[in-house]
């Protein structure tokens, strides 16, 4: 069996990282992989023995002009042509469309008579970004709909789909290792050993609840420390959050994307706060568990099926005050936390078992 993965950008996004971890943990077999990306990036697939085909689509005006002219001259689109070329080179048994962000690839698969599966990581807020007909056709044409969480399974089954399989994303447990001592990082950040530091990691977006930080922190004891790690965006919402924090003198640190020190900063904190309004099965939540960090968050999706007694608290609704109260219970010890329970939630053995089920599920599609 040969699988051609399709992804929007050749980088380590959450959905691509999930694929890499499936490949990493899958048992040895006769199957082969290749990947096609609509846009270039820094992704290196050498360790996975997975050829990478990359088109050059971008948002630059020069590219959009080129694509318009190309379409008028040849009645084709460059990245669709590149995908057809990758398909001809690899002759895969199955296309694996790794997000709902590529409905045009589902349409091409239907035109070519190429079987495909669709991995749905997204929740309904992101469905609104797709066109009605293209979204419908993409779901209807899939041999199988894989989903990142039970919440997504429920959403699709509510729409009448029965070819839905829960397939939790994986994380590479062996890579979740701080590279620096916790005490060293805390000293560098100016944290006292007695300080309780919360962390959230993600994009500066309303879906991730970036705008809720000040509302949450103003309900906590003055001086409560909060770190947000993630790629910066300069928008009106950013200005709103920055000024709100400044006006109330809240203790928030913003760290843009970390690479080598990511887990060192994560480990230097004491708790993980999931502020997301929608998050199907967040990678960062599972990383927090591996590091033994208590988890507090809104019921935004996958947290409801992941959290168990001794791991933290989940809050119904999206009320900052309610989330802050849950954080205070964790800080005071009123909510008991068991590090062993957190760290047992994600193990190498559990990831290997899920990867085995993943590859067996795909093999059954092409039989």
pLDDT along the chain (367 residues), means of 10: 96 90 92 95 92 88 75 78 96 97 96 97 92 97 96 96 95 94 94 93 92 96 91 91 95 80 94 96 95 97 95 97 98 97 96 96 94
Q: Which residues of 197-218 are buried (b: 16+ CB within 10 A; e: fewer)?
A: bbbbbbebbeebbbbbbbbbbb
Measuring CA to CA, which residue among 100, 25, 14, 19 is closest to residue 52? Answer: 19
pLDDT the model gives residue 64:
77
* Secondary structure (3-state) at 124: helix
pLDDT the model gives residue 50:
96
pTM comes to 0.89
pLDDT the model gives residue 362:
97
Token pair recorded at residue 287: 């990383």
Residue spans of the domains in the chain: they are: 2-170+348-366, 173-344
- CATH 3.40.50.2000 describes domain 173-344: yes
Measuring CA to CA, which residue among 74, 36, 70, 28 is closest to residue 53? Answer: 36
Equal CATH topology for 2-170+348-366 and 173-344: yes
Q: Which residues of 61-85 are buried (b: 16+ CB within 10 A; e: fewer)?
A: eeeeeebeeeeeeeeebbbbebbee
Measuring CA to CA, which residue among 53, 29, 61, 54 is closest to residue 40? Answer: 54
Cα–Cα separations (whole angstroms), residue 296 to 123, 164, 276:
20, 29, 11
pLDDT digits (tens, 9 = 90+) for 174-194: 999 999 999 999 999 999 989
Measuring CA to CA, which residue among 38, 49, 134 is closest to residue 86? Answer: 38
pLDDT the model gives residue 311:
98
Q: At what angle are helices 61-74 and 78-90 packed, to 10 degrees?
A: 70
pLDDT the model gives residue 33:
97
Cα–Cα–Cα angle for 125, 128, 133, nearest 5°?
Answer: 145
Homologous superfamily (CATH) of 2-170+348-366 is Glycogen Phosphorylase B; (3.40.50.2000)
Measuring CA to CA, which residue among 316, 290, 292, 291 is closest to residue 303? Answer: 316
């Amino acid at each position: 069996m040969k699988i051609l993965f399709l992804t929007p950008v050749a980088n380590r996004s959450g959905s691509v990282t999930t694929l890499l971890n499936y490949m990493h943990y899958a048992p040895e077999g006769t199957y082969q992989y290749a990947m096609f990306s609509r846009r270039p990036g820094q992704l290196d697939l050498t360790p996975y023995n997975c050829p990478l085909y990359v088109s050059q689509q971008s948002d630059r005006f020069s590219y959009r002009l080129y694509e318009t002219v190309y379409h008028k001259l040849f009645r084709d689109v460059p990245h669709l042509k590149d995908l057809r070329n990758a398909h001809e080179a690899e002759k895969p048994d199955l296309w694996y469309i790794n997000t709902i962000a590529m409905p045009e690839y589902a349409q091409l698969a239907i035109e070519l008579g190429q079987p495909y599966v669709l991995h749905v990581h997204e929740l309904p807020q992101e469905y609104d970004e797709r066109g009605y007909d293209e979204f419908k056709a993409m779901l209807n044409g899939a041999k199988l709909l894989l989903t990142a969480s039970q919440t997504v399974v429920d959403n699709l089954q509510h729409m009448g789909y029965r070819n839905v399989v829960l397939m939790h994303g994986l994380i590479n447990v062996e890579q979740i290792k701080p590279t620096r001592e916790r005490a060293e990082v805390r000293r560098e950040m100016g944290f006292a050993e007695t300080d309780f530091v919360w962390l959230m990691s993600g994009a500066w977006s309303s879906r991730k609840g970036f705008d809720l930080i000040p509302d949450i922190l103003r309900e906590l004891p003055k001086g409560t420390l909060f770190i947000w790690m993630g790629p910066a965006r300069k928008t009106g919402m950013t200005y709103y959050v920055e000024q709100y924090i400044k006006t109330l003198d809240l203790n928030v640190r913003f760290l843009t994307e970390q690479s080598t020190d990511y887990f060192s900063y994560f480990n230097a904190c004491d708790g993980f706060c999931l502020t997301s309004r929608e998050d199907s099965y967040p990678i960062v939540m599972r990383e927090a568990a591996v590091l033994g960090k208590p988890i507090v968050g809104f019921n935004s999706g996958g947290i409801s099926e992941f959290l168990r007694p001794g791991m933290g608290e989940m809050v119904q609704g999206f009320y900052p005050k309610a989330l802050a109260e849950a954080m205070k219970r964790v800080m005071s010890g009123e909510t008991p936390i068991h590090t062993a329970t957190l760290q047992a939630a994600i193990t190498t053995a559990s990831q290997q078992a899920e990867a085995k089920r993943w590859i067996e599920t795909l093999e059954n599609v092409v039989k």
